[in-house]
């Protein structure tokens, strides 16, 4: 089987990470793959903020948790209310993907970059999990004050984050619905 297809079929969302930080060379390879993702008109209106500072990550999680508990839906409130809750599953590296607000198709572009990140990570046996609830970081003034600290460019908004780290679990493939294809020949 083709190596690319093997990586795609092997990749799972990892929610248990080892505490050890990923190597700088592995991270650089992942970031190089991120910016090689297809993007509309080669506009490249994305931005990648790499956070490896545990204190900053923990502060982000506290703000996200506070915002979820104050503003979130019941499902998210229940999750965030658990003592074990950690938005990024205690991953040692988090990549926050943001995009220029008015750029056309940028959400798709960032989704493609996120997929490249997760596949490049898997190819190096690094676990990943794409997280959208991290948008709650910016649901309050307290979170918005972190924009500058995190280095988000002016006019750029959160799209998603990706937790990265060495795997501490090997989940099975969840069932997939195969009734989603329609052929028009």
pLDDT tens track for 68-113: 999 878 999 999 999 999 999 999 999 999 999 999 999 999 999 9
CA distance 31 to 51: 13
CA dist., res. 49 & res. 97, Å (int): 7
Assess if residue 173 is contained within a domain.
no
pLDDT of residue 73: 87
Residue 64: in which H helix or E strand, if any? helix 54-71
The pLDDT score that the predictor gives to residue 71 is 85
How many structural domains is the chain composed of?
A: 1
Cα separation, 17 vs 57, whole angstroms: 14
Residue at 183 is within a domain: no
pLDDT tens digits, one per residue of 19-39? 999 999 999 999 999 999 999
Residue 64 placed within a domain: yes
The reply to whether 13 falls in a domain is yes
Structural domain span for residue 82: 9-166
Give the CATH number, domain containing residue 27: 3.40.109.10
Which residue from 49, 73, 81, 64 is spatially nearest to 133, judged by alpha carbons? 64
- 181 in a domain, yes or no? no
Question: By percentage, how much of the chain surpasses pLDDT 90?
Answer: 98
Q: Is residue 3 part of a domain?
A: no
Percent of the chain with pLDDT over 70: 99
With respect to residue 49, please indicate whether it lies within any of the assigned structural domains: yes
């Amino acid at each position: 089987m083709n190596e690319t297809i093997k990586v795609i079929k092997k990749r799972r969302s990892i929610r248990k990470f080892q505490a050890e930080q990923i190597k700088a060379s592995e991270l650089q390879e992942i970031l190089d793959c991120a910016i090689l993702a297809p993007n509309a008109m080669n506009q490249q209106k994305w931005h990648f903020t790499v956070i490896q500072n545990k204190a900053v990550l923990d502060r982000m999680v506290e703000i996200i948790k506070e915002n979820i508990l104050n503003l979130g839906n019941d499902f998210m409130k229940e999750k965030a209310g658990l003592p074990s809750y950690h938005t990024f599953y205690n991953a040692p590296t988090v990549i926050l993907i943001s995009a220029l607000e008015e750029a056309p198709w940028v959400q798709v572009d960032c989704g493609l970059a996120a997929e490249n990140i997760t596949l490049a990570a898997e190819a190096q046996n690094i676990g990943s999990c794409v997280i959208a609830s991290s948008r709650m970081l910016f649901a309050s003034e307290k979170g918005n004050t972190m924009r500058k600290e995190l280095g988000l460019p002016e006019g750029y908004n959160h799209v998603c984050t990706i937790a990265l780290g060495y795997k501490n679990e090997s989940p099975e493939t969840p069932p997939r619905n195969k009734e989603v294809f329609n052929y028009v020949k």
